[in-house]
Amino acid sequence: MRILALIPGGIDNQLLFFPTLETLQQQYPQAAIDVLVEPRSKKAYRVCKNVDEVLVFDFQDRNSFADYLNLLGIIRDREYDAVISLKTTWRIKLLLWLNGIPTRIGYQDDSALYLSKSVPRKPEQYTAEMYHDLVTGFGIQTPCPPMTINVPTEDISWAESEQQRLSVKDTGYIIFCDNPSIESGNSVYPIKSWQKIIDDLNRRQTGLSILLLQTSTNREWVTSMISANNNLKAIAPPDVGKMAGIVAGANLILSNNGTPLQLAIATKTYSFALLSDQDSNVISAREENCTGILSTTDNLADIAPETIIQKMWQEK
């Protein structure tokens, strides 16, 4: 049996789909499971052990007829028995139907007629559980497992070496990460508010170092933070596995929604998540190691730094 999963979105979205891939692997241990993802998300599968092949297609691009024909050929060559898809365009669903894949599972929408089985989409759920609902199209009724990752040994070694280099291995460290989305391109929490949190940590004399986590989208934020406080340290892991190693070694992480937050959840690192109202479902209400700090608006800047400090230190 060969299964294809279509997963648009960034790396954090791939991580939220990992529980679904795990269930498919457990239910069909002899199956080959491939994924079709955007080019920017391919590197997520460095920390996934449940996928055989990673194919790429830019779901967000204005694809030409030739692009769709090429994708049609790629899928047809692999002779898939089943496909499971997150929310995609009617063109993608039509393409899957044209390929003659017997089992085609996706969410109920206006183009569900191209699917062999459609599943209700429940956006009010924890996102990973909403994705996991798709396995019911196979007749699978098992609950959504927790998100887990498989960090390569070499990435763990790299992280330990970096901790020594930055002199944080013995003292311990707290990670701060403001990870703007590709779409916005802007930092979402004010530097002056971050500074108030830093000042509070310094007053408490915890002995923990503060480590700024640099991603592909927040270099400007890291530069601004260090300009405001030159005692801060920064690290820029070159791939997802090494980022996971750094996150796993932290005492805690304070981050907005994005890859670092989902890696913290997967590695069971204590985390505080700065979330807008529209991001509230990216963490599970049952997650013991992650505390959500929600803005009542779509603007994270509306979260007072005093609120974050109270949450971090469990003060009333």
Q: Which of 138, 163, 184 is the last residue of a domain?
A: 138
Q: What is the pLDDT confidence band of residue 184, given thresholds at 50, 70 and 90?
A: very low
Same domain? 129 vs 188: no
The answer to whether position 234 is within a domain reads yes
Residue 129 has pLDDT above 50, yes or no: yes
Do residues 246 and 290 both lie within one domain?
yes
| Triad 227, 228, 234: Cα angle to 5° | 60
Q: Structural domain tally of the chain?
A: 2
Same domain assignment for residues 37 and 93: yes
Residues 207 and 128 in one domain: no
Is residue 306 located within the same domain as residue 218? yes
Residues 73 and 100 in one domain: yes
**Segment of 154-163, 199-208, 274-283, 296-305 carrying the highest mean pLDDT:** 154-163
Question: How far apart are alpha carbons 154 and 133 in whole angstroms?
Answer: 34
Residue 178 lies in a domain: yes
- Token pair belonging to 69: 């024909």
Give the per-residue pLDDT at 185.
Answer: 42
Give the Cα separation of 48 and 44 in Å (integer). Answer: 7
Contact 304, 297 (CB under 8 A): no
Contacts of 152 (CB under 8 A, 6+ apart): 46, 47, 241
CATH of residue 235's domain is 3.40.50.2000
Residue 102 lies in a domain: yes
| Whether residues 90 and 212 fall in one domain | no
Provide the token pair at 57.
């297609």
The chain-wide mean pLDDT, for the chain, equals 91
Residue-wise pLDDT tens digits, 31-83: 999 999 999 999 999 999 999 999 998 887 777 778 888 888 888 889 999 99
Q: How far apart are the first and last CA of the chain?
A: 55
**Residue 95 domain-assigned?**
yes
Q: Which of 138, 161, 194 is the last residue of a domain?
A: 138
Same domain, 10 and 95: yes
- Asked if 159 and 83 sit in the same domain, the reply is no
pLDDT in tens, 97-122: 888 899 999 998 867 888 899 999 99
198 and 71 in a common domain = no
Torsion-angle region of 288 (φ positive above 0: left; ψ -120 to 50: alpha; else: beta): alpha
Tokens of 170: 């013995």
**256: phi then psi, degrees, rounded to nearest 5:** -85, -175
The answer to whether residue 143 sits within a structural domain is: no
Q: Which domain holds residue 20?
A: 2-138
Please give the model's pTM, rounded to 2 decimal places. 0.93
| Domain stops at, among 97, 114, 138 | 138
Could you read off the pLDDT of 209-249 as tens digits, one per residue?
999 999 998 999 999 999 999 889 999 999 999 999 999 99
Report if residue 169 sits inside a domain. yes
- Do 176 and 298 have their domain in common? yes
Beta strands in 194-312 (DSSP E): 209-213, 233-235, 252-256, 271-275, 290-294
Q: In what order do the strands lie in the sheet with 233-235?
A: 233-235, 209-213, 173-177, 252-256, 271-275, 290-294
Instruction: Decide: helix, strand or coil at residue 162.
Output: helix
Pair 159, 297 in one domain = yes
Is position 144 within any domain?
no
276 is a domain residue: yes
